[in-house]
Structure 1
Amino acid sequence: MCTAVTFLTNDNIHFLARTMDFSFELEARPVFIPRNHKFNSLVAGTKFATKYGFIGAGRDIDGFIFADGFNEKGFSIASLYFEKNAKYSTVTKKDSLNISSTDLVSWALGNIESVAEFEERYHELNIVEVINPLLQVNVPLHWIISDKTGATGVLEITKKGANFYRNQVGVMTNSPEFSWHMTNLNHYANLQPTEFEQKKYGDYVTVSDGPGSGALGLPGDFTSASRFIRTSFLRQYSSRTKGVKNGVIAVLHILNSVDIPKGVKITPKNVSDYTQYKGIMDLNNLTYYLMPYEDSALTKVDLTKQLLEQAKVITF
């Protein structure tokens, strides 16, 4: 059901990356959206335009819908499932931009320059309950945002209203709410990359079976709570290497720890929920890397000056 993580190299390259875990075949691919592109919201009568060009993982369903991406300013966003917690407005508002949950990524990438600006402007939006034509449900989502400075936040809209959190750990998964995950992280303060010291019980001194004892208790299942703990631990202690290539490799190793193969997580509808793709966004060099389930090779798309001069949507 998706895991997102930020990562910083020693030479200050900022990444936002995610797994797209879902049972419905999304068939997402990298897409370039130019400046001044017009979007029709799923909310009837609402339209909005892009100020900035961007690249995202999307699909054309009578207009493009995006799960994640970054724009020319180095701002990025990813939507993750927020089942049983997301609660949107049931009415439109005259003084707001009325959009659906699946429109928010497109709006943000087309109009927001930084995490700070997003925090100021998300109040302009009224996220409205509307049936998505592809999924045939009102899609329950929450969002992680980051920019080229490394600032990171989370937006959740629940029955208590809209909540914006500063994301201090650079990780997000699914339900429960982000604040719950942060509290739960306190229960795993024993985890460490080094070995535990020998302990004495009476006259007996413990002997380790081998290396890795510092991570005893690290959860390995695919629940949202366990993926949040596992990713937070690996992000914290993974070596901060230098360079784009080494940074991408480091991020992939973290994402591989939460990769869900087909067949090991079956939904109540008896279909496989699996990692359909891994997306890695380099926010300083403006590059999107996508790895689909069926291929271990990365598709690389750069948001170049030449691409930004294009006036048409380009699907890769």
Structure 2
Amino acid sequence: MCTRVFWNDNPIAKVASRSMDWEVSDEPQLWFYPRGLDRSGGPQPDAAAWQSTYSSVALSMWNVGTSDGMNEKGLAAHALFLDDIQPPAGTGLPTVAMAMWVQYVLDNFSTVAEVVQHVNDFELIAPPIRGQYMGAHLALEDPSGDSAIIEPIDGVMVVHHGPEFTVMANSPDYDDQLANLARYAPFGGELTPPGDITSLDRFVRASYFRHYLPEPTTIQETVAGVFRLTQNAAVPPGAPYSNGGVYPTWWHAAADVTNLSYYFWSTLSPSVIWVDLAALADGTELLALNPRQDELVGDATSAFEQSKLLYG
């Protein structure tokens, strides 16, 4: 359960924010991945193999794969949960596990258009992680303001491509989300914004308040603007869904794809941190940082550089 918002029509910067909602903490770890890393689409025998063309900063989920991130070209990618996915199967193409989908994109492509062009170059699979099914759809944006939503549905990679696709939540699929949005003002209908925590309502609420965002005058106001939107769509601790499950928001991230700054805010902390990817982009070592440390606040780039690990 998550929400993503992209603010691409302001005069300051193209910035996206997303929240991570889950039953338990995904124990996010922040990584810097240099160019030239040998990669695999998973442990399966037919996994795709590649070498990273672009460096990136990314968040891992339980140290498995990548759930969110941005590369040195300003291409950002966000994996959000989507139920009942059915990716194309039996294609004979190399496979990429769902947990590696974001990193595959960040390693290999520089723009949203490139990703869309190559969306069928591999076969996406969804093995369980920690015994849990992990279906997902992907949101993308880049410094031009371009955006795309990619969903593996009924054996087809369904793509919504264009700068108008600025909001994404979870199930149902994107076409159904857009149809529901059309029931509300100012998107064609007359209903006022809903206040529930369901995916449908979060999608409408994020779209509604994004529509009315006042024009920012600084980069600080721009980043704060998208953070406010995902905060508005956040799920408070203990709030139950209709099925009785509780999936609170654990963190928010923001990608400034214009200035290559990546932000992280744990909902257990009052402090936002950020990393300057432009300063790290030419680095050759794999770096790691626990972004949930209580003492971290503000620019954490130097702390990131001090957390050096050997790849592999």
Give the TM-score normalised by the residue count of structure 2: 0.85
Are residues 1:189 and 2:185 paired?
yes
Alignment partners' CA distance in 2, 1:24 and 1:267: 18
Counterpart mapping for 1:78-157 below 5 A = 78-84=78-84, 86-89=85-88, 91=90, 93=92, 96-132=93-129, 134=130, 136-157=131-152
Residue 39 to residue 240, structure 1, CA distance change in 2 (3 Å)? same
2:25 corresponds in structure 1 to 25
Amino acid at match of 2:209: L
Alignment partners' CA distance in 1, 2:262 and 2:89: 35
Paired residues of 2:186 and 2:208 also in contact (CA < 8 A):
no
Alignment partners' CA distance in 2, 1:109 and 1:169: 20
Alignment partners' CA distance in 2, 1:243 and 1:34: 30
Alignment partners' CA distance in 1, 2:73 and 2:186: 39
Amino acid at match of 2:181: L
Q: How far 1:98 moved relative to its partner?
A: 0.9
Q: How far 1:90 moved relative to its partner?
A: 5.1
Paired residues of 1:43 and 1:98 also in contact (CA < 8 A):
no
Alignment partners' CA distance in 2, 1:256 and 1:65: 25
Residue 32 to residue 60, structure 1, CA distance change in 2 (3 Å)? farther
Give the TM-score normalised by the residue count of structure 1: 0.84
Amino acid at match of 2:259: N
Alignment partners' CA distance in 2, 1:55 and 1:138: 25
Question: Equivalent residue of 2:120, what SS?
Answer: helix
Alignment partners' CA distance in 1, 2:213 and 2:78: 22
Paired residues of 2:263 and 2:274 also in contact (CA < 8 A):
yes
Counterpart mapping for 1:199-238 below 5 A = 217-238=192-213
Amino acid at match of 2:122: L
2:262 corresponds in structure 1 to 288
Q: How far 1:241 moved relative to its partner?
A: 0.5
Question: Equivalent residue of 1:188, what SS?
Answer: coil
Q: Percent identity?
A: 23
2:246 corresponds in structure 1 to 272
Q: How far 1:266 moved relative to its partner?
A: 5.4
Residue 21 to residue 298, structure 1, CA distance change in 2 (3 Å)? same
1:71 corresponds in structure 2 to 71
Deviation digits for residues 125-173 of structure 1 (CA, Å, limit 9, x no counterpart): 21124233x3x23411001111011101100011141111125240000
Alignment partners' CA distance in 2, 1:130 and 1:304: 34
Residue 218 to residue 266, structure 1, CA distance change in 2 (3 Å)? closer
Q: How far 1:271 moved relative to its partner?
A: 5.7
Count residues with an aligned counterpart: 285
Q: What root-mean-square deviation, in Å, do the aligned CA atoms of Structure 1 and Structure 2 show?
A: 2.1
Amino acid at match of 1:231: A
Aligned mate of 1:254, from 229, 237, 244: 229
Where structure 2 has 5 or more consecutive residues not aligned to the other structure, the ranges are 290-312
Alignment partners' CA distance in 1, 2:126 and 2:201: 30
Residue 8 to residue 288, structure 1, CA distance change in 2 (3 Å)? same
Amino acid at match of 1:149: S
2:286 corresponds in structure 1 to 313
Question: Equivalent residue of 2:210, what SS?
Answer: helix
Bigger CA radius of gyration: 1
Paired residues of 2:184 and 2:191 also in contact (CA < 8 A):
no
Deviation digits for residues 262-283 of structure 1 (CA, Å, limit 9, x no counterpart): 1012585x66311010000100
